[in-house]
Structure formats: structure tokens, C-alpha cells
Amino acid sequence: MADTELMDKLVSLAKRRGYVFQSSEIYGGAASVWDYGPLGVELKRNVKEAWWKSMVHERDDIEGLDAAILMHPRVWEASGHVSHFTDPLVECLNCHRRFREDTLLSEQGAGSPAELQCPSCGTRGKWTEPRQFNLMFKTFKGPAEDSAEIVYLRPETAQGIYVNFLNVQQSARQKVPFGIAQVGKAFRNEITPGNFTFRTLEFEQMEMQFFVKPGTDAEWFERWREQRLAWHREVLGLAPDRLRYHPHEKLAHYASAAGDVEFFFGGSIGDEGWGEIEGIHNRTDYDLGRHQEYSGKRLEYIDAAAGERYLPYIIETSAGADRVTLAVLANAYREEEVEGETRVVLSLRPSLAPLKTGVFPLVKKDGMPERAGRIHEALRARGIPSFYDESGAIGRRYRRQDEAGTPFGITVDGETMENGTVTVRERDTMAQARIGQDQLEAYLRERIG
């Protein structure tokens, strides 16, 4: 399968099986905004929960936070977003489509804008002068659309963490080094969104800001870089040969070191198919320093034992929940030939799969539907998301769950009625085992994790 086809196939599977729908579809769709359907919302929640578990629940040195999307407008002046969060926008004078000049220059390997060709109509060298376009969505608070009442939809969740640094440190009685983690929506008015959920206008971030003593920052940066790469590989199961770390050559105004965890999506994403899923940055003391200056409030950490006070440096790990979920889907998608037919499988880790089991009566008679229904209800009651299906041939029912990514199929057949055993079919290998009904939960739990 060509890389370019993968995204088209994922878009269609996502719609067919209820992972992702285009926003406002009945109105012709809202471009670059997507809705998660019944299975998609579960998958994304499982990704976010796996992150929260690794970052917050399994550690003593990271606290959670849920800061509001709307913040004081001065936050965005202090952070540099009002003046710096811009992309150079150019418009083709022939077809009037708009693009990011920097992206076109690097994609086309061009030395100057005069050499650039419009990707839409093919006209060369006919562009408006580049204009710095701010990516923040702006709105107004209260009834008067007055510049004094401007508020922004946050373009990153990080600033909510920085302004709460002392609140969290003092209330949780944390000592530096420690971190604050948060999952939440962010909004960017991207000039060229696209590639399904890879680049959208509204998305979710999973961000962790780790506060360290100046001088220990390079070492912490290295530690976080390694831990985050290992997380994508070991917890999400992303294939090692589709993961890489890419250091930034050009650094943002706030950073002293930065790099991206990239996943190989293929097609037109990123650098020859490699797209960023998480950024890791050494933000120095820039953020706390700026908020201290703009708010007039001291934000220093006081180390009473050492008799020191200082502004901590920040190591940031910033992952996109939507991009990571898309990477999980792309990583899981397989097509295989089985008995002359193409079998589509979403080979999701059982811990991430939206549904863990499909429960099927072999036939719709002899008490099998009732028995299977009871197994399904018992699993659900025990916190194992399950799906009951009695319609159509058993092969078709298996295939539907293969596409949905359900790792186990449980079938009630004649033997079940005689001796209380069921067959458990494993999605990836299609191997079947006979398990006593009373062993079922333990068998599944061991494999779901």
C-alpha cells in the first residue's frame, strides 16, 4: 500500500467505523475541524489516560492541572504570542489561494519567493508581499466588541501552567525539580491546515512543564527526551522504525534546545512523511521571567534548605492528543489477504482499543443469543468495554470487529451449551482458544493490561 493511500484509507475507515467524522458534515463540512465518533472518543481517551497515568499517577514529582482556556490578555503579551506567534502568509495573485511562504520555500527547495510555484494553479513567481499573520483566534468578552475586551482562545496549554507555578508548588508542597501536567484544548488559526487530524484549527494537547534548577536543565532535557521516546514506543506500541527524534536547527525565541518526536505517517505529511507528534523544549527561565515582569509578581522558587531563590528553568514536553491518536491509528492499520479476500485490521494495543471484546452467538437459536447476551453484560459490568453482535455470518461479524480494532472475539456455540466453554478469537493471529466461561475475565485481563 502506498503511503499516500494510507491517509485516504484511514479517513474512510474512521468514518465507516465511527472513529472520526468531518465536523458539520450535513452543512457541507467545516474545513479542518473533526469530530470523534463512538470509537474515536474512546481511543483518544485511552491515549490521554495512558499519558496521565505515566506522567501524573505513576510519579511523585508531577502534579496535574486543568487551567481555563480563556486567560487574562496580558498573558499572551508576556508569552510573546501577540508579537511572535505569526507565520508569513503569501497569496497567489492568480488564484488567490493563501500559503505559508516558509513552507513553500522549504518544500520547493527555492532560494527566493520569485522561484515559488503556486501548488494550486501552477503560476510561478506571482505572489503578494509576505504578511505576518497571527495564529491566535481572537474574540471579545462581554457585549461590547471593544479592543479593551479582547480575549484569545489559547494556542497552547502551557501558559496556564506557568501562571499557576507557585499555586501548584505551594499547595502541593513540591520541591524543584518537579513538573505540572495538563491536557486540554488549544486553538490555532493555521494558514494551511490539513492531512486529516494532523493539522487542525482546534486540537488537544498533553503538556508537561518540568521546573528545574538552572544548570541542571541540559541533563533534564536529555532525560525527558529519552523518556518521551520510550513512552511512544513502549506504552503506545508505535513501531520503533517509524519513530525518530529530530533536533531543531532553528530555535524559537524562548528555547535553548529543542527537538521533536516524529512519526512516519507517509504521504504529504511533514518532512517526506515524517511528522512531529511531540515537541521537547528547554524553555530556560524565559516564561517565568516574562510573567514576573508583566505581572509585577515575584515568581521565584525559594529553596529554604539551601538558602537560595531563583527562577527555575523549564523543560517542556508537548504532545498533541489528536496527532498521537492519528499516529496510533496509522501504526495499527493493516491489510492482509485471507482466503482470497482483503482483511482490514486495526492492530491496536488491547490497552488502547476502544472495545475489548465482541461477543457473538454462533447462531440465533438454541439459547445461544441469551447466553452470549449474559456474557456481554457481565463483561461490561466488570468494566470491560464489550460489543454484542448477532447479525450476519460469523465471519462477517469477526471482520467488522477486526476493522474496529477489537482485540478479542468471544463466540458462544453448541459446545458452550454443553460444557460452558467459549471460543476466544485473537484479532491479529485469528487463532482461537477454548476457555471456560469462569476463566474468561482473568484470561482477558491478563491480555488487556
Residue 87 binds to ligand ATP (criterion: CB under 6 A): no
For ligand ATP, which stretch binds (CB under 6 A), given 101-109, 172-180, 312-320, 382-390? 312-320
Which is closer to ligand ATP, CB of 153 or CB of 277? 277
Residue 376 binds to ligand ATP (criterion: CB under 6 A): no
Residue 40 binds to ligand ATP (criterion: CB under 6 A): no
Helices H / strands E in the chain, number of each: 14, 23
Among 101, 262, 285, 322, binds ligand ATP (CB under 6 A): 322
Q: How far is the CB of 201 from ligand ATP (least distance, A)?
A: 7
Tell me if residue 197 falls in helix, strand or coil: coil
Distance CA 159, CA 184 (A): 12
Burial 83-96 (b: 16+ CB within 10 A, else e): eebebbbbbbeeee
Which is closer to ligand ATP, CB of 85 or CB of 387? 85
Residues 153-172 touching ligand ATP, rule: CB under 6 A, are 156
Among 159, 200, 284, 401, binds ligand ATP (CB under 6 A): 200
**What angle (nearest 5°) sits at the alpha carbon of residue 305, between those of residues 299 and 308?**
45
Query: What's 304's DSSP letter?
Result: T
Residue 182 binds to ligand ATP (criterion: CB under 6 A): no
Which is closer to ligand ATP, CB of 279 or CB of 354? 279
Q: How far is the CB of 33 from ligand ATP (least distance, A)?
A: 10
Amino acid residing at 235: V
Q: How far is the CB of 316 from ligand ATP (least distance, A)?
A: 8
Helix (H) or strand (E) holding 341: strand 341-346
| Grid cell digits, residue 304 | 529554604
Q: What is the DSSP string of 378-405?
A: HHHHTT--EEE--SS-HHHHHHHHHHHT
Residues sharing a CB contact under 8 Å with residue 93, sequence separation 6 or more, in sequence order:
123, 126, 127, 128
Q: How far is the CB of 279 from ligand ATP (least distance, A)?
A: 3
Please name every residue paired with 408 in a beta bridge, in sequence order, or none if there are none.
357, 426
Among 17, 44, 188, 242, binds ligand ATP (CB under 6 A): 188
Which is closer to ligand ATP, CB of 33 or CB of 378? 33
Residue 229 binds to ligand ATP (criterion: CB under 6 A): no
Amino acid residing at 362: L
Q: How far is the CB of 434 from ligand ATP (least distance, A)?
A: 44
Among 160, 259, 320, 407, binds ligand ATP (CB under 6 A): 320
Which is closer to ligand ATP, CB of 199 or CB of 242? 199
Residues 397-416 touching ligand ATP, rule: CB under 6 A, are none
For ligand ATP, which stretch binds (CB under 6 A), given 12-20, 139-147, 200-208, 215-223? 200-208
For ligand ATP, which stretch binds (CB under 6 A), given 69-77, 229-237, 276-284, 385-393? 276-284
Residue 323 binds to ligand ATP (criterion: CB under 6 A): yes
Residue 177, judged by CB atoms within 10 A of its CB (0-12, 13-18, 19+), counts as: middle
Contact by Cβ (8 Å): 320, 183: no
Beta strands in 85-148 (DSSP E): 86-91, 98-100, 131-134, 137-140
> Using omega within 30 degrees of 0 as the cis cutoff, is the peptide bond preceding 177 cis?
yes
For ligand ATP, which stretch binds (CB under 6 A), given 7-15, 195-203, 233-241, 369-377? 195-203
Which residue, among 270, 384, 236, 289, has the nearest Cα to 79 in the 3D structure?
289
Query: What's 68's DSSP letter?
Result: -
Residue 276 binds to ligand ATP (criterion: CB under 6 A): yes
Which is closer to ligand ATP, CB of 317 or CB of 406? 317
Residue 205 binds to ligand ATP (criterion: CB under 6 A): yes
Distance CA 167, CA 171 (A): 6
Q: How far is the CB of 190 from ligand ATP (least distance, A)?
A: 5
Q: How far is the CB of 319 from ligand ATP (least distance, A)?
A: 6
Distance of CA 318 to the CA centre of its chain: 10
Binding site for ligand ATP (CB under 6 A): 156, 188, 190, 199-200, 203, 205, 276-279, 318-320, 322-323
